Chains A and B, each alone.
Chain A
Amino acid sequence: MNSSPAPLVTFDGVSLGYGDFTVLSGIDLRAMPGQVVAMMGGSGSGKTTLLRAMTGQLRAQAGKIHVFGQDMAKLDGEPLRAVRQRMGVLFQSGALFTDLNVFENVAFPLREHTHISEQQILERVLDKLQAVGLRHAAHLRISEISGGMARRVALARAIVLEPELILYDEPFAGLDPISLGITAQLIRTLTDQLGCASILITHDVAESFAIVDRVYLIGQGRLIAQGTPAELSASQDDYLQQFLQGRPDGPIGFHYPLTPAFERWLASRRAA
């Protein structure tokens, strides 16, 4: 055994896509314990696709993905479940169970995967809800809470088992400035306390640069840049600077690219 800890997630030359269509290719990345890593990129750049590959919902078209040192291409059934039990995932939509109330949603992973007493469940769930500021909303139904609250409940559910790896899909979307700042700090503190790795998918530059150790920027179907926030801010790369500063003109086009399929559709509309 060497002294440096093993990475929890590694991607080596990974290509990802759906069917014949490739979204991303040549992706190399790692996430170490205790690190907060941000995956950034514009809308539709394939950030969520990356996350789906980490959870084993999507298999790599090429390359190798290892999570907890296990080859994700070979995992299925029980071993895949064992890997998934060690990770927490915050979905973009929250994906809360609408037949359960706030408390039961956060308690769900505890009930499914542990045998702790009802009293301990109560304490732990209220503790996590406290961390996201919703302790006093525990009794509410999912239909009674706002979108921002739902995302914070989903966050509490993702961390309730204190996993070794936490994946956050757009943790800052739909949050007001106060919740946003607190959530960002929560992600940092959790990572430091648990010694877990946190991977967040975001396009919120200011908020994430304040808390992350490493940034991977994807776009145009590949990995464009990586480094610490300071390294990226200092870079002279056009693409990078346009993204970080949110400038309308530069190598990143705002408009969806023209395709033959669109031209055919338009021609048929005009002919009609």
Chain B
Amino acid sequence: MSRLANRIAALGHGFASWITGLGAFARLFSAILARSSVVLRRPGLVSQQVHFIGNHSLLIIGVSGLFVGFVLGLQGYYTLNRYGSEEALGLLVALSLTRELGPVVTALLFAGRAGTSLTAEIGLMKAGEQIAAMEVMAVDPLRRVLAPRFWGGVIAMPILAAVFSMVGILGGWFVGVILIGIDPGAFWSQMQGGVDVIDDVLNGVIKSLVFGIVVTLIALYQGWTARPTPEGVSRATTRTVVSGALAVLGLDFLLTALMFAH
């Protein structure tokens, strides 16, 4: 009986601490937003972060996009060929990438590449007393450190997703047109005719913006709340990837459902 009671208590405790964490997460979000005027006053701080977060993720995003495009080309051809409509391959590749794979895979890679480095950086800054030093120097670390990184991530993500989709489409073209021999005119014109700027491209951009906000914020939150020890920072880094990936996949379903609704 008491073991059951303990289990229930543990469950309740876990739930309560999850809610508390969510509250702290929301408070950090609002604190960063309240200090975001720094973005306009010192744009250099943000462009530095876009460079750091974006440029360093470019290679992995580009290579992954290319291979996803290759695979889409092969698999798409396999299916479309059964119905004799392999000319639609360009449309299939473009829609899959702009609507879904571009934003989602980019966000997952972003969590692993840029998110972890943000978490580790903030966590180690805490461990090295850098955050405390900043406070004692009368500099608000939320304004000086977190806000520029947040906006850097939010700006970089849609750009990376666009690069991913673009490279992916080129990969699909390479497999479909160059290797398999689909008519290039049909490949591109089907894509041009079938992809809608608002419904497909813009919705993809909205998704990647939302993922950018959520993944960057998770990374910053994990670093900000990490215990300032090597073990604490390593755990926080792992949590960034796990919760970042889960949040992206969960939100993707929600957003897709919402966008399909109308």
Contacts and interface: CB of A to CB of B under 8 A. Distances in A.
A54 to B, nearest CB: 10
Interface residues of B, number: 15
B144 A98 contact: no
Nearest to A154: B133
A98 B137 contact: no
A163 to B, nearest CB: 10
A98 B144 CA distance: 15
B137 A57 contact: no
A91 B133 contact: yes
B137 A89 contact: yes
B137 A108 contact: yes
Contact of A98 (B125, B136, B139, B140): B125
B138 A57 contact: no
B138 A98 contact: no
A93 B128 CA distance: 7
A210 to B, nearest CB: 28
A89 B136 CA distance: 7
A113 interface: yes
B74 interface: no
Contacts of B183: none
B129 interface: yes
A30 interface: no
A55 interface: yes
Interface in B117-141: 121, 124-125, 128-130, 132-133, 135-140
A81 B134 CA distance: 11
Nearest to B48: A99
B133 A57 contact: no
A99 B129 CA distance: 14
A20 interface: no
Interface in B127-165: 128-130, 132-133, 135-140, 144
Given A98-B124, A99-B121, A112-B144, A57 B130 contact: no
Contact of A85 (B121, B129, B133, B138): B138
Interface residues of A, number: 20
B136 A57 contact: yes
Contacts of A113: 138-139
Given A57-B132, A95-B133, A84 B124 contact: no
B137 to A, nearest CB: 6
A180 B184 CA distance: 74
A97 interface: yes
A207 B144 CA distance: 37
B136 A93 contact: no
B137 A84 contact: yes
Contacts of B137: 84-85, 89, 108-109, 112
Contacts of B135: 57, 84
A93 B144 CA distance: 21
Contact of B130 (A81, A85, A87, A98): A98
A109 B130 CA distance: 13
A93 B138 contact: no
B138 A95 contact: no
B46 to A, nearest CB: 15
Given A98-B124, A99-B121, A91 B129 contact: yes
Contacts of A96: 130
A271 to B, nearest CB: 27
B129 to A, nearest CB: 4
B136 A112 contact: no
B129 A95 contact: yes
Contacts of A140: none
Interface in A79-135: 80-82, 84-85, 87, 89, 91, 93, 95-99, 108-109, 112-113
A89 B139 CA distance: 13
Interface of A: 55, 57, 80-82, 84-85, 87, 89, 91, 93, 95-99, 108-109, 112-113
Interface of B: 121, 124-125, 128-130, 132-133, 135-140, 144
13 contacts: A57-B136, A80-B138, A81-B140, A85-B138, A89-B136, A91-B132, A91-B136, A93-B128, A93-B129, A95-B132, A98-B128, A109-B137, A113-B139
Q: Considering the complex of A and B, which 8 residue pairs feature the smallest CB-CB distances, nearest first?
A: A95-B133, A84-B138, A95-B129, A81-B138, A85-B138, A55-B136, A112-B139, A89-B136
Given A84-B135, A112-B138, 17 more contacts: A55-B136, A57-B132, A57-B136, A81-B140, A84-B138, A87-B136, A89-B133, A91-B129, A91-B133, A95-B130, A95-B133, A96-B130, A97-B125, A98-B125, A109-B137, A112-B137, A113-B138
